[in-house]
Chain A
Amino acid sequence: MDWRRVEENIFKCLMLTSVCCVVGSLLFILGTVFVKGFHALTLDMLIKTPQGGYYLGKGGGILNAITGSIVLGIGATLLALLLSLPLVVYLNLYLRKNSRRAFAVRFLLDVLWGIPSIVYGAFGFTVMVFFKLQASLLAAIITVALLILPIMARSMDEVLKMIPFELKEASFAMGATKFETAVHVILRQAIGGLVTAILIAFGRGIGDAASVLFTASFTDSLPYSLFKPVATLPLAIFFQLGTPFPEVQERGYAAALVLAILILGVSIAARFISGKFTRHVIR
């Protein structure tokens, strides 16, 4: 009996099992949401805001939550991007490889990554109370941006770490400054990975319920002001699933389906767009 072949096959089986578990559970989740929510998903749900008694089973839709989530997701992602891009460029181009400062920043980001989102929510709430602000779109954008910042920054950091040293060297050798090298060479080379990092962060931000529970509050109207409460899809799901009425619960699943499709759509669109930028990338 050839032991090496047996070993090879055993491990191949184990690996296939894990792949099946991961893909299977993902499909199972999506399937459940689809089956339970699809027939509650009507056009009205997508284009109307909740009318009186919506949460008791009367007419209306979740347009407030859809637009709220999109605005909040984009706002928070942009804010996080604005902070994390300079941060990772600094870490990777301006600090030396084993500098203590870089180590400390990376360690802190990893710790922040691990903090549960409800803690971010509570923190945002405390700060709001301190400044005597009410729950608002702005407060939610800031809180969610803080929540996704470590995710975005650390993912981008890993992307920039992979850039070959010779590429930076080639640019510096022409008399380029670090900033020119970062903007014209490094970011261009890394654009595909950076887009993925942004998407991961966006998906996490738009889907998070706990951090917006106190900071965004909820409203039946569309988002029209940075300083007014805003509705979000995760909370719309949460409230609807929490009612005792089966038809409202179904709408909760429909809202979950909308959220899933939204994230999927953004992912596909971003892949498509970044494909146009990556044609010069060196592989």
Chain B
Amino acid sequence: MTTPCATHIQTEHLTVQYGKQRVLHDITLQIPDRQITAIIGPSGCGKTTLLKSFNRLIELQEGVKVSGSVFVDGENIYDPKVEVTRLRKKMGLLLQRPQVLPMSIFDNVAYGPRIHGCRDRRQLADIVEKYLRMASLWDEVRDRLHEAAARLSIGQQQRLCLARALAIEPEIILCDEPTSALDPASTQRIEQIFMELKKEYTIVIVTHILRQARRLADHVLFLYLGELVEYGQAQYIFENPQQQRTRDYIMGVIS
């Protein structure tokens, strides 16, 4: 059993290149277990790339080259022996725009458990209810589970995506600006859910909204132009940043 604050994800000299362009440069960091870690930084600084290198989704990009290593639960995930489907099952992903699957609400949540081998109808129904409740969507959709997911409002879709991500029973939730397409009320709901979830899950959230990072984060990573400038406990980063660039970013001098 890992104790809280133990390291869950760790990178060593992680460098990512698209063709000749270097997007991440020599990143070494640790992401603590069962806390919210926010990755902040201006647009194009490599936040999303860093997030997607944790579940090897980055490999789907054209002409990408990854060097260095990423450890999840102490295992180097770029080892050729690692089964990528099993790795990704450990991590739920929430994208910037909710991307529901072209199926019913029920099937969206049941998709993950099904592909990972759960066939029992009763059990699936229980799983769907449990995670829809967890994403606080159950009460809104309980009567129309078999309607198209695409008909939900965008805020509901994002919560559905969260339920779907939780249904594969991950240890980690990766979020790429999960509220940037949402209205303030939906954003608040998602943030409340995150505060609940961090008791059981490690959450990594990419955000360019500083106030959101302040509200949510226990730890903060500041990326600037592909380099990790500073990381540590949120309180210290926000109140007493050691680096000039971090200070400038937090003060709004650079963005």
Contact = CB atoms under 8 A, between A and B. Distances in A.
Q: State whether these chains interact.
A: yes
A180 interface: yes
B192 to A, nearest CB: 23
Interface in B85-130: 85-89, 91-93, 95, 97, 99-104, 107, 111-112, 115-116
Contact of B168 (A97, A174, A184, A188): A174
B115 A180 contact: yes
Interface stretch (B28-36, B54-62, B237-245): B54-62
B135 interface: no
7 contacts: A98-B62, A174-B88, A175-B87, A175-B89, A189-B102, A280-B107, A280-B148
B93 A281 contact: no
B77 interface: no
Contacts of B57: 169, 172-173
Given A281-B102, A282-B102, A173 B150 contact: no
B111 A184 contact: yes
A175 B99 contact: no
A185 B164 CA distance: 14
Interface of A: 96-98, 164-177, 180, 184-185, 188-189, 279-283
Nearest to A181: B115
B148 A173 contact: no
A274 to B, nearest CB: 13
Contacts of B161: 170
A164 B112 CA distance: 20
Q: How large is the interface on B (under 10, 10 to 19, 20 to 34, 35 or more residues)?
A: 20 to 34
B228 interface: no
Interface in B43-94: 55, 57, 60, 62, 85-89, 91-93
A186 B87 CA distance: 22
Contacts of B217: none
Which of A98, A172, A175, A176: most chain B Cβ within 10 A?
A: A175
A170 B115 contact: no
B102 A185 contact: yes
A169 B58 CA distance: 10
B179 to A, nearest CB: 17
A180 to B, nearest CB: 5
Contact of B85 (A165, A168, A170, A175): A175
Contacts of B206: none
Contacts of A185: 101-102
A280 B62 contact: no
Which of B97, B100, B115, B116: most chain A Cβ within 10 A?
A: B115
A167 B99 contact: yes
Contact of B104 (A167, A189, A280): A280
Interface string B145-182: 00011100000000001001100100000000000000
Binding site secondary structure of chain A: helix
Contacts of A169: 57, 60, 95, 99
Contacts of B62: 96-98
Contacts of B87: 175
Contact of B95 (A96, A170, A175, A176): A170
Interface string B179-206: 0000000000000000000000000000
A172 B99 CA distance: 12
A184 B104 CA distance: 12
Interface string B12-32: 000000000000000000000
B102 A188 contact: yes
B117 to A, nearest CB: 11
Which of B57, B92, B99, B100: most chain A Cβ within 10 A?
A: B99
Contacts of B104: 280
A189 B89 CA distance: 23
Top 9 A-B residue pairs of the complex, sorted by shortest distance between their CB atoms: A173-B93, A175-B89, A175-B88, A170-B99, A189-B102, A175-B85, A282-B150, A280-B148, A174-B112
A171 B85 contact: no
A281 B164 CA distance: 18
B102 A173 contact: no
Contacts of A166: 95, 97, 99
A167 B116 CA distance: 19
B254 to A, nearest CB: 29
